Amino acid sequence: MTTSFQADIRPLFTERDIKGMMKGFNLASYDEVKAHAASIYDRIRGIGGAVMPPPPPRGEGPWPQSRIDLFAKWVADGCPP
Ligand code: HEM
């Protein structure tokens, strides 16, 4: 199954994630998540800086591996909308 931003990726980001990251880029925006996909994939694995999302109380904590794998699959699929 091919993934899509709307069905698979957008629902992974909470309101808190979106608000917290707005100063950098908009996690609710397909174009912006696509543009930053490589660095997002790094940061959800704790590569290149603090792991995202941050642990409580600032965020909901690192994603389980299954979500990280889903994000990787979406990138491998070519970031479909
Ligand atoms: C390129 C990818 C990313 C970079 C470079 C990045 C960077 C940052 C930085 C610099 C902060 C502020 C840290 C501080 O003030 O000490 C932050 C906060 C945060 N980020 Fe990210 N982030 C990335 C991706 C993400 C993703 C994918 C999520 C969610 C899945 C996320 C969720 C959050 C949350 C919830 C906060 C806390 C905001 C707050 O304190 O109100 N970030 N991020």
* Interatomic CA distance for residues 42 and 16, integer angstroms: 20
pLDDT of residue 65: 98
Mean pLDDT score, 26-38: 98
Q: Measure the CA–CA gap between 48 and 63, rounded to whole angstroms.
A: 16
The pLDDT score that the predictor gives to residue 55 is: 97
Q: What mean pLDDT, rounded, does the chain reach?
A: 97
Give, as one character, the DSSP assignment of residue 10.
G
Which residue in the block uniquely carries the two structure tokens 């979106």?
18
pLDDT at 1: 85
Per-residue pLDDT tens digits for 46-69: 999 999 999 999 999 999 999 999
Q: What's the 61 CA to ligand 1 centre distance in angstroms?
A: 11
Ligand 1, atom 3: nearest CA belongs to which residue? 40
Q: What pLDDT, on the 0 to 100 scale, is given for residue 58?
A: 95
pLDDT-above-70 percentage for the chain: 100
**51 near 62, Cβ under 8 Å?**
yes
Residue nearest to atom 43 of ligand 1 (CA): 21
Domain ranges of the chain: 5-76
